Amino acid sequence: MCLDDESLTAAYRQYQTELVEAGLLISLGVPGLYGRSGIFEGVIEHFEQYVTQRGAFARAEVMRFPPMMSRQHYLRTGHIQNFPDLMGSVHTFQGGDREHLKLLEAREKGEDWTRNLAATESMMVPAACYPLYPTATGTLPSVGRTVDLRCFVFRCEPSSDPARMQLFRQREYVRLGTAEQALDHRNGWLKRGQEILNAVGLDARPVVANDPFFGRGGQMLAATQVEQDLKYELVVPIATAVKPTAIASCNYHLDHFGHAFDIKTADGKPAHSACIGFGLERIALALFKTHGFDPTQWPTDVKRVLAL
């Protein structure tokens, strides 16, 4: 069975309405931008605690980054070449009294007052691992590095699908090191990530995937990514079982960020990197869809795992 776009949109809007009416999400008047209730946040908090327990073996460095990063660092990631439609640039007013009057006059006339804003030195973070790489410039120890990250990330893709938020959190475990170290990390966490999601009652399944590359060359890049076996997603049904949603991804970046940020292995070669990213809001949405809106009524084994 397959659904057409109209039917998918209806399914997304129905689940969105249910979530808002239940008070779990708080509509903020912009598609894909929501507040979260205490119950929603509590589910994420307990899920993260479980992820932390399962990841303790890695003895990872813990880092938490804000949702903005240096514009210059952003430009070195390659994101603007591949995903310009998803990026967010931070602009603000930087003029004096005269320029302020022009801004207010434009607003009063119903004109585009945002033309009076100027770019800052900041960009919105599009992936939780991006702020890490500029901090890792230099030579890695022979054992490499493993870092536990969490960050709000931004992607400009407004949607009626509650799982496709513009601002959401990713929890990641990132590995920097040799090709073997990075690939072992990706493969190990693909299995472990599925186990974590299955343990909380989500029927997550791994699928080979690709990123949504932009432009005429995007299809070729996507095909190459699949051919090289670089990206897997763990998918579950959320709004509809017909089109499952990715709630976690496991990615092998080759030595892309090693080259971009001059990160080297102990033998002087560009470092390779890999990560698992848990989409925390999407996981909470999947849990509510699977088990119901009241966590106190969830299955006993799920509540035990999450310590609810």
Q: pLDDT tens for residues 46-91?
A: 999 999 999 999 999 999 999 999 999 999 999 999 999 999 999 9
If asked whether residues 182 and 271 sit together in one domain, one would say: yes
CATH classification at residue 155: 3.30.930.10
* Cβ pair 240, 254 in contact under 8 A: no
The rounded distance, in Å, linking the Cα atoms of 38 and 301 is: 22
Same domain, 168 and 230: yes
- Radius of gyration of the chain from its Cα atoms, rounded to whole angstroms: 21
Q: Compute the distance between CA of residue 255 and CA of residue 267 in angstroms, rounded to an integer.
A: 14
Q: Which residues contact 162 (CB under 8 A, 6 or more apart)?
A: 12, 15, 16, 19, 25, 34, 238, 239, 285
Domain span at residue 133 reads: 5-88+126-306
Whether residues 105 and 160 share a domain: the answer is: no
- Same domain as 141, residue 118: no
Q: What is the pLDDT of residues 215-268, one digit of tens each?
A: 877 888 888 889 888 999 999 999 988 889 999 999 999 999 999 999 999 999
- Answer yes or no: do 99 and 208 share one domain: no
Number of domains in the chain: 2
Residue in the structure block whose two tokens are 């930087």: 94
Of 76, 108, 123, the one marking the end of a domain is 123
Three-class SS state of 284: helix
102 and 250 housed in the same domain: no
| 119 and 245 part of one domain | no
Same domain, 228 and 97: no
Q: Based on the domain organization, do 105 and 214 belong to the same domain? A: no
pTM of the model: 0.94
Nearest to 214 by CA among 60, 85, 114, 76: 85
pLDDT digits (tens, 9 = 90+) for 145-195: 999 999 999 999 999 999 999 999 999 999 999 999 999 999 999 999 999
